[in-house]
Homo-oligomer: A and B are copies of this chain.
Amino acid sequence: MADTQRQRLEAREDAILAAATTVFSESGVDGARMAEIARRADVAEGTVYLYYKNKHELLEAVVDRFWRELTKGAIAAISEGASVSQQLHELASYHLQSLIDDFKIVEITSRARMRHGEPGRQLPQIREYVRVFDAIMQRGIDLREFSADTAIWQIRDVFYGTLEHSARTLVLRDQGFDPSVIDHLMRLFEQYRPSSQADNPSGLDASEIMQALSRIETKLSQS
């Protein structure tokens, strides 16, 4: 019976998590009532606190599960044998679509980061999620499809930062998924291909020159 007992407990925990996910999505974190979550999970209010220490920990569990599922979905969305660019395209599409579909939970995520006291942490499951991107990008670098002269974290911030902002824009405008966002992002990523060096054996790089000039201009306008 130890087995069915355990299953019952897990089912209850699942019910609470599911109820919490719904209520948080519907009413937002502040609008969500613990009593309402308990009611929908069909347990007494006190029972919730046997599974989660407090409202914030419940919120964290909801967000945690969401990103864990998202990681699974992302991995499933990527064609194993495909090229690096193709995989990036697939990941970007999957990510944008998910952000739009589950906009409410994504918004709530920032809430889970802020732990009352101080330093906004990095959630473990999000760290796990971005590894999917890192793995693809690393393969691209290993295969020399992408150059190694930009730190991966910076490229990653372009990738996720752009998609997150685009998703917000689209949702606020009541538009849905827009493939042009993906195309645009992929075109940007052409920049990371090493081809430009081959074309330019002298090592002369216009962007570097322009940057140097910008620095000089900055200095000048400051003085």
Residues of A near any B CB (own CB < 8 A):
27-31, 79, 82-83, 85-86, 89-90, 103, 107, 110-111, 114, 116-118, 120-122, 150-151, 153-154, 156-158, 160-166, 168-169, 171-172, 180-181, 183-188, 190-191, 195-196, 199-221, 223
Contacts and interface: CB of A to CB of B under 8 A. Distances in A.
A28 B223 contact: no
30 contacts: A79-B217, A79-B221, A82-B217, A86-B218, A89-B218, A90-B218, A107-B110, A110-B110, A121-B172, A156-B165, A157-B162, A157-B165, A158-B162, A158-B184, A160-B161, A161-B162, A162-B162, A186-B210, A190-B207, A195-B201, A199-B201, A204-B205, A204-B206, A205-B206, A206-B208, A206-B209, A209-B209, A210-B212, A212-B217, A219-B221
Give the secondary structure class of A's interface.
helix
B203 A206 contact: yes
Given A180-B154, A217-B86, A164 B161 contact: yes
Contacts of A214: 85-86, 89, 186
Given A107-B120, A154-B181, A191-B191, A207 B212 contact: no
Given A186-B207, A216-B216, 5 more contacts: A160-B165, A186-B214, A200-B204, A212-B213, A223-B223
